[in-house]
Amino acid sequence: MITASPTCIFCRIIAGEAPAETLFRDSFVTAFQDIHPVAPVHVLLVPNRHLESVNQATLEDEAMLGRLFTVARQIASDLGIAESGYRLIINTGRDGGQVVPHLHVHLIGGRRMRHPMG
């Protein structure tokens, strides 16, 4: 991990200082089960480097951002929801619904998703 925030729960999970049911970890991304699932499958994928939101992403983050999506695809396949479908959500800022100030992707599935999104 390049940088971390000592008060960020996701940074603490990545560092192994807070409990989580981890499904995947490499040098770019950590994925773990959401503790408040909204669907049968609800996984959070986070960059290992602390980035508060998409608003802080730079050109140097492109490989890591791409890795978030390829890992999401692999986890969806591993959990048996790739063919039936799933939703990837990134909330940015308070009005966007972001609760934890660390960029993260919600991978949700295992049932039909509802609309509208907003």
Residues that are catalytic: 104
**Which pair of structure tokens corresponds to residue 75?**
């986890």
Q: Distance between CA 57 and CA 51 in Å, rounded?
A: 7
- CA atoms of 54 and 20, how far apart (whole Å): 23
**Residue 109, strand partner residues:** 41, 86
Give the chain's length: 118
Instruction: Please answer whether residues 31 and 43 qualify as being in contact, where contact means their C-beta atoms are separated by less than 8 angstroms.
Output: yes
Angle at 63 between CA 39 and CA 40, to 5 degrees: 5
